[in-house]
Structure 1
Amino acid sequence: MSSYSTIETQTLSADNGVDYAYRCVGSGPNALPMVLLQHFRGNLDHWDPALIDALAQGRRVITFDNTGVAATSGRTPNTIAAMARDAIEFIDALGLDRIDLLGFSIGSFVAQEIALYRPDLVDRIVLASAAPRGAAGIHGWRRDVIAGVGGREPSPEGYLHAFFPATPEGLEAGQALLGRIYGERTQGRDEPTGWQTRQAQYDAVTEWGIPNHAMLERLQGITQPVFVANGDGDPMIPARYSYLLAGLLPNAQIKIYPDAAHGFLFQHHKEFAADVDTFLS
């Protein structure tokens, strides 16, 4: 099997006029393909190669830049709803009729909308570092989180602060991840995300978090099996929202990973990949 660190980036034109950059690794005739939805300001290179390779044992794993993000054409929309519609356009262009979804952070918001808009498309869903729309207390991020990941020039130090706990084990895991995502792929790297994407995505995040408890009822429409997961010390989307989400979804299971923050799925990539495989199987 090819590695995520060496697989080439491809481009796919969809009916909405957008040219999507994507990567596909793995195979598995007996498993549904799994489409991944990326975090705030992330591009194809911000997925952990170790995690992707583990997830791709026995199935196709597809990562992509949504509209306006990095190497994909267009302008990034400023609502989760529009991002979900654009993601569906990409999936339709791939010719896929049934998929599993894994959404991380803002990608978990998009995954929820895809499941509501196109329920017959989605078989099972993994929501990592997730929150439901309209929940009280997520209307914007803490000042230190914004300073870490929301500046014009993101830094590795800010990324580590938001994605990993400030413990020896957490910092070691964070440094190891930085080595994988910046050191393993030496050719064909993705374009960096621009400021327009940052502004649009943060607008979408804050709109998603406007308190509106009526929006929580929408989750009853997601009847697929869902695996909700988070780190116990996530400063961006605290674990209490994972409990809320899992309690509101009709068919959900939850796991909170210890000594972990927003990037728990990279810190505990072996364990998380095994848990996802068990869930999907």
Structure 2
Amino acid sequence: MARSYAQAPITTVSAANGIEYAYREVGEGGVPLVLLIHFRGNLDNWDPALVDALAQRRRVIAFDNTGVGGSSGRTPSTITQMAMDAIAFTDALDLVQIDVLGFSLGSFVAQEIALIRPALVRRVVLASSAPQGAPGMHGWAHWVIDAVGEPEIDPARVLDVFYTQSPESRSAGEKAMGRMFTRTELDAPTTWQTRHAQYDAVSAWGVPNFSLLERVTAIQAPVFVANGDNDPMILPRYSHLLAGLIPQARLKIYPDSAHGFLFQHHAEFADDVEAFLTDPR
């Protein structure tokens, strides 16, 4: 087992759905924590500092879902199918019970996993999240999707979405990016097909529908909802809405941070996640 996420090799596993999934894992013991990444992200978009902190007392697994990065197949255009594919991955690893940490798009998938197969999921962490059908979530602001949705990704524009304009937040973002992309073995980049399919899924998730808001009330697992106080991609008000709808949810908003709050505040966030996952209540 690799001692750090930066050293963890990319491994593959064949699932019953015919997909070859690429993944990295680090740490040992406890209920495995499965990580679900953001829009257009792959294995390299997890901050090693955060993953290593999360893996101090448990096995942590990051993977590329169907058609993403080094995984085979075509990326589906619905959150439900992404969740089914993620479940196929956990089945391929013979995981009987997991904790899930979903970030942004990954947090939508995490909600669906908890609804589709509740017996699989013990606890759920939803970072920069929103419930399906929330008013105002139909797509992102034009400047946001322009920053993260173009064929060529500009790191400076990504920083504008993931971090605030304060010197402290900006510096934290630059350091996080440096940690992400200094390894020798990089994952395959995500494709243009993945970009379109994932944004179709995000847009469909955000079509206003008040009746769909009730779906998350069926999540029985304890849930930790977290966000940055200046997230322009998924506004903090959606985190408050989500935490209010889920029966066993707790909420924390991190200061002077945006979409990448969990990387900017990686030590504090990891401590909060550990406290949540080990809370006997």
Q: What TM-score does the superposition give when structure 1 sets the normalisation length? A: 0.98
Partner letter of residue 268 of structure 1? H
**Structure-2 residue corresponding to 1:117:** 116
Partner letter of residue 159 of structure 1? V
Separation in 2 of the partners of 1:228 and 1:42?
20
The alignment status of 1:61 with 2:54, answered yes or no, reads no
The alignment status of 1:6 with 2:7, answered yes or no, reads yes
Partner letter of residue 8 of structure 1? P
Matches within 5 A, 1:151-166: 151-166=150-165
Separation in 2 of the partners of 1:99 and 1:178?
28
Partner letter of residue 231 of structure 2? D
Aligned-residue sequence identity (percent) comes to 63
1:163-196 per-residue CA deviation (whole Å, 9 max, x = no partner) reads: 000111111111111111112x1x2210110100
**Structure-2 residue corresponding to 1:270:** 267
The alignment status of 1:78 with 2:72, answered yes or no, reads no
2:71 alignment partner, SS class: coil
1:90-120 per-residue CA deviation (whole Å, 9 max, x = no partner) reads: 0000001101000000000000000000000
Q: Which runs of 5+ in 1 are unaligned?
A: none
Partner letter of residue 171 of structure 1? R
**Structure-1 residue corresponding to 2:48:** 49
Superposed displacement of residue 262, structure 1 = 0.3
Q: What TM-score does the superposition give when structure 2 sets the normalisation length? A: 0.98
Separation in 2 of the partners of 1:196 and 1:158?
21
1:56-92 per-residue CA deviation (whole Å, 9 max, x = no partner) reads: 0010000000000011000000000000000000000
Report runs of 4+ in structure 1 exceeding 2 Å deviation. none
Separation in 1 of the partners of 2:120 and 2:234?
27
Q: Which runs of 5+ in 2 are unaligned?
A: none
**Structure-2 residue corresponding to 1:242:** 239
The alignment status of 1:215 with 2:212, answered yes or no, reads yes
Separation in 2 of the partners of 1:21 and 1:211?
34
The alignment status of 1:148 with 2:144, answered yes or no, reads no
- Pairwise CA RMSD: 0.6
**Structure-1 residue corresponding to 2:189:** 192
1:220 alignment partner, SS class: helix
In the alignment of these two chains, the number of paired residues is: 277
Separation in 2 of the partners of 1:98 and 1:7?
23
**Structure-1 residue corresponding to 2:125:** 126
Separation in 2 of the partners of 1:176 and 1:96?
33
